[in-house]
Each structure stands twice: as structure tokens, then as C-alpha cells.
Amino acid sequence: MKKYGLVIALVVLTTMGCLKGQDDPVFPSPDLTIPVDESVTLQKAMPFPFGAAVNVGLLKNNTTYRNLVIKEYNSLTAENAMKFTQLHPSENVYTWADADYLVDFAQQNGKRVHGHTLIWYKNPPSWVLNYQGDAQAWDNLLKNHIQTVVSHFKGKVASWDVVNEAMADNGTLRDCIWLQKLGADYIAKSFIYAHQADPDALLFYNDFGHEYSTTKRTAIINMVNNLKQQGVPIDGIGLQMHTNYMQSDKNLADAINTAVATGLKVHIAELDISMNPNNIPDLTFSAGLAEQQKAKYEFIVKTYNAIPKNQQFGITTWNVSDADTWIRGEYNRPDWPLPFNDNYERKAAYQGILDGVK
Ligand code: 9MR
């Protein structure tokens, strides 16, 4: 059977080659993979934790995905399963099944779990948006959600993105239900409530844009430094780093090193490197693009590897393979942002990550 499969695949590939012309890349292109040395994995090669955001449905139903997660990573983030709406869809209902599945999987396979995310402007369920109550009632709502979730996973989830994306690109706090109901204090309160529920969990402020907006970066760093000065229990800063191959090395390094200057732990928390930031609808992935992506992954890993060891919380990519990326769905465009291709094979980007710690 395997032989026939191979013959069919060869015929299909040859036909595609004929139709497209020899020099045109095929999508997804198998010849853009790198040779696999089974003894090398990201978790073994990296001198700091290396993780991925995982999709619980894929973990349950796609054996290739599941095995790759077991093999390559030693830190896991739930891509969606621990968000407010997923965990707490109505006032008196908590739905733990998917998040518990992920945590059990992580425990069985010796992986760290990073919790994402307790409070996020984007994710309040409609019951929260429609909630009626005075300031004290809103404070209780915030506290109850955070403490129920953090307590549920106490001892199993090592760290949390407590507040996600509170800052707008113009450096002011983003308008959201929490800001409207509780004022700017919702951020400090969220950290305090999370710490009360699990004093051992490391607590992060997570956001994007450090590498493309100095205004936003400065506002985030100032906010985080203020929280620290006020004695708010904050341990780390998450740089999402949804970036693209055209981003300058200087901007990427500035993002990392400015965060390091806070003295907090730094998590590159949602790394992916878009190859089609200009939304070209018929772009194909080529050897040239693969090399540029490799260089960008290498640069980020190299820069991160050079920061003080005690500030290295780790690097997490936002999902595993190009087939699983949020980017294709969100922007409705072809893109190949991750180190594994659609067939879960290693791309040049994977080698770039390895080369970053050479
Ligand atoms: O990748 C996530 C996607 O599957 C969800 O539909 C989306 C909305 O919940 O969130 C995506 O993840 C985001 C993360 O939680 C916060 N930073 C930006 C990520 C990409 O949008």
C-alpha cells in the first residue's frame, strides 16, 4: 500500500511540476524541508525552555501533531483553551475539559504549562459584557474569575499571562470592559488576585508590537516598571512577537533588550514569522523565502540566547506547523510562519532556530 501511495504522490508532484514549470515552487513544497536527524529536537538543543501554543482538538485527533508536540517541546501554552470565554462561558458555569486535557497531557509527558490568558480585552463572553453591577460587583467578578481559574490549576500551571494586550498602539490603555468598569487599576488588581490564588505561579504581562512601535513599547515598559515599583507581583513580560521576515534585526533586538532592562523574566511568547505580510493572494513559498525566514528565526533565537540566563523564561511559537497557524484564517492569505511545514516536516526555519544557539 505504501508503495502505491508513493507512486501516486510522485505522479501528482511531477504533474504539478509540469503544470507550474520547473522553477516554480509547489505549495506546500516538500523539497523545502531539511534533512532530519532524529536525535536532534528543539527541547534538547535549546538551553532554555522551548514551547508551542497547542490546539487541544489537534492534540486529541491528529497523531502526527501530538507526537511532534511530545518530541519537540518542553513548554506548552493553550492557544485558546484557557481563555475567559472558553473556561467561563456563563456566570455560574466553568468548562474545564479541554484545558484539563492539555494539563494532563503536559503532566504525563513532563512539559511545563504556561497559562494564557486570564484577562484580555478581546475575550469577555457576552454574560460579562451584559453584566450589571456597581464597582464592587465588577471587582468581585474579576477576582472570582481569576481566583477560580488560577486555583483550579494551582501546582499544575507554572505561570500565567495575567493581562493580555492592555495597551493600544498609541501608548494609551486600550478601551475595554475592564477599563470602563474598574479603571486602570484592573491591571494591578488582576496580578494581586492571581498571586493570592497561587503565590508560586510566575505572573506575566503579555503584549504585541514591541518590535514595531517604540511608542507602544515605551508605554508598556513604563507601565510594567510602575507595577513593579508599587509592589505589584509581576515576574515577567511576554513579547508576543507575531512578526514578519521584513522586520529589521535592530527592531527585534531593541524589543528584546528593552524588556530585559526591566529586570523581569522575558518570554518570547507567541513567535511566528509571517512570509506574506503584504497579503499577496497568490504568493508561493520559495527557497529564497525559506532562507530569509531561517535567518530571522536564527537572529531572534541568538539575541534571546544572549540575555541573562535568569531572565530567560523561554521561547514559544504560536502553534506548530504552517497548517495550524492562526494567520491563514485571520488574514485569508497564504502564509508559512512556523518552523514546520504543512506536513509537519522541518523547514529551514527549524535549522535557523538550532543555529541561533550554536
Ligand atoms: O491563535 C488564536 C486564534 O485561534 C483565536 O481565534 C484568537 C482569538 O481568541 O486568538 C489567537 O491567539 C491570539 C492570542 O490569544 C493573543 N495574541 C494574539 C494571538 C493571535 O491572534
Residue 175: give its domain's CATH number: 3.20.20.80
Judged against a pLDDT cut of 50, whether residue 13 lies above it is answered with no
Integer angstrom CA distances of residue 344 from 35, 247, 289, 335, 347: 13, 26, 18, 15, 9
pLDDT, tens only, 243-290: 999 999 999 999 999 999 999 999 999 999 999 999 999 999 999 999
- Atom number in ligand 1 closest to CA 123: 9
pLDDT at residue 123 in the model: 77
Catalytic residues: 165, 270
Q: Spell out the alpha helix ranges (H) of 277-325.
A: 287-305
Considering only CA atoms, which of 352, 244, 357 is closest in space to residue 298?
Answer: 352
Judged against a pLDDT cut of 50, whether residue 11 lies above it is answered with no
Cell numbers at residue 207, please?
503584549
pLDDT at residue 8 in the model: 41
Number of domains making up the chain: 1
Model confidence, pTM: 0.92
Q: Tell me the average pLDDT of the chain.
A: 93
| Centroid of ligand 1 to alpha carbon of 318 (angstroms) | 9
pLDDT band for position 28 (cuts 50, 70, 90): low
Give the type of residue at 122.
K
Which residues does a 6 A CB cutoff place in the pocket of ligand 1?
A: 79-80, 83, 164, 240, 270, 326
Nearest CA owner, ligand 1 atom 3 = 326
Across 173-213, the runs of DSSP E, i.e. the strands, are 202-207
Cell numbers at residue 352, please?
535557523
* Domain residue limits at 78: 2-355
Integer angstrom CA distances of residue 204 from 11, 168, 260: 51, 18, 13
Cell numbers at residue 214, please?
517604540
Q: Measured between alpha carbons, how far is 281 from 333 in angstroms, rounded to an integer?
A: 6
Judged against a pLDDT cut of 80, whether residue 24 lies above it is answered with no
Nearest CA owner, ligand 1 atom 4 = 326
